[in-house]
Amino acid sequence: MRFTKLLALAVTLVFMCSHPAFSQTSSTTPAKPKASTTSASTYDRTLLRPALLKDKAPDTYQVKFDTTRGEFTITVTRAWSPLGADRFYNLVKHHYFNGARIFRVVPGFVAQFGLSAYPPVNAAWRDAKIKDDPHGQSNKRGTIVFATSGPNTRTTQLFLNLKDNPSLDAQGFTPFGAVDGNGMNVVEMFYDQYGDNAGMDQENIEKGGEKYIATKWPKLDTIKSATIVGATAPAGTAKPAAKPAAPKTQP
């Protein structure tokens, strides 16, 4: 009789330890955390809200570009194109151009950039248009100007003029700054063998970002960083690259 009771008690204890309702394992052992399925953002998330980026630019400021071909600096003069200078200032201030490619280089015309390396950023700025500024400065070699697709359509894309481009003047393109010193030596080294082919692929570049470019157009040069540098200079100090002076004639 005693043996039977002891056997029954042993069975009961085994049942209580193995059954989930009585086991302490599930309540005392911490659950294993799930692996994260998202990667850390590497861009300023303020860029996803263009309407917030409305700071007025200084009268004159400088932006240093560090690229895969070297460094150059652009001096911006706000009086040349106030809305354009303000837009550029806000983009640079929030690191929009970091990691972007120079996706279109046409020798003897322009080097074009301004599509972000990150598709969500491109989507946010696609319709963030600014109005045109009155045309003032000419599109001389070394000047920088926003690209357009018609009146009042400037967003983030830019041209660096590789030569004097009066045809852009006729279309109302308004420069807001110019490359300093010998910086055009760097600009003119940007990879140009894709020509307009990569330029015509803008929709896919916009949607796919750096991942797409690295696969389809891997040789395009990259902007490592674009940053505002130094103290602001007096207004009107920036000048577009000038043509060589004409030889004097003998009387």
pLDDT of residue 195: 87
Q: Are 143 and 137 in contact (CB under 8 A)?
A: yes
Residue 125: exposure state from Cβ atoms within 10 A (0-12, 13-18, ≥19): buried
Count structural domains, the chain: 1
Mapped to the 3 state alphabet, what secondary structure does 102-170 carry?
CCEEECCCEEEECCCCCHHHHHHHCCCCECCCCCCCCCCCCEEEECCCCCCCECCCEEEECCCCHHHHH
Q: Are 209 and 120 in contact (CB under 8 A)?
A: no
> Per the domain annotation, does 200 fall within a domain?
yes
> Per the domain annotation, does 6 fall within a domain?
no
| pLDDT, tens digit, 9 for 90 and up, residues 133-159 | 999 999 999 999 999 999 999 999 999
Residue 113 β-bridge partners: 158
> Per the domain annotation, does 3 fall within a domain?
no
The predicted model scores a pTM of 0.77
For residue 30, pLDDT over 70 is answered with no
Structural domain containing residue 192 = 47-229
Distance CA 165, CA 187 (A): 16
> Per the domain annotation, does 187 fall within a domain?
yes
pLDDT mean across residues, the chain? 83
Phi, psi of 137, rounded to the nearest 5 degrees: -70, 145
| pLDDT, tens digit, 9 for 90 and up, residues 76-115 | 999 999 999 999 999 999 999 999 999 999 999 999 999 9
pLDDT of residue 250: 39
CATH number for position 86: 2.40.100.10
For 66, the token pair is 């560090």
Which residues, at least 6 apart from 141, have a Cβ–Cβ distance to it below 8 Å?
161, 162, 163, 164, 184, 240, 241
> Per the domain annotation, does 40 fall within a domain?
no
